[in-house]
Amino acid sequence: MDVFTVELLLPDRRLYKGPATLVIAPGFEGELGILAHHMGLLAKLKEGAIRIFVNDEPEIDFQISYGYLEMLNNVCSIIAVREVQKNIA
């Protein structure tokens, strides 16, 4: 699968930056599934799990309160207001 870059940011620090083959995020209109080369997108996120997948590696989860997701030029930037907890499956 094609790979793209994901960056998950809080106001004061970066939680994650790395490759992904799929990102699933909790949008206000439903879950968003982001793949490589996704069209440009700006979406508001609600509280829930940011799920990052890289090929067959274990999923990486971050629980956020709310935030925004931007997909542009094969880079998925997620800006969260605060992290609720972090789980690595």
Query: 21: domain range?
Result: 4-88
Closest to 80 (Cα-Cα) out of 68, 70, 71 = 68
- Specify whether the CB–CB gap between 34 and 76 falls below 8 A: yes
SS3 75: strand
Model pLDDT for residues 30-58, shown as the tens digit of each residue: 999 999 999 999 999 999 999 999 998 89
Q: Report how many domains make up the chain.
A: 1
The pTM score is 0.88
- What's the rounded Cα separation, in Å, for the pair 38 and 13? 26
| CATH code of residue 70 | 2.60.15.10
Share of the chain above pLDDT 70, in %: 92
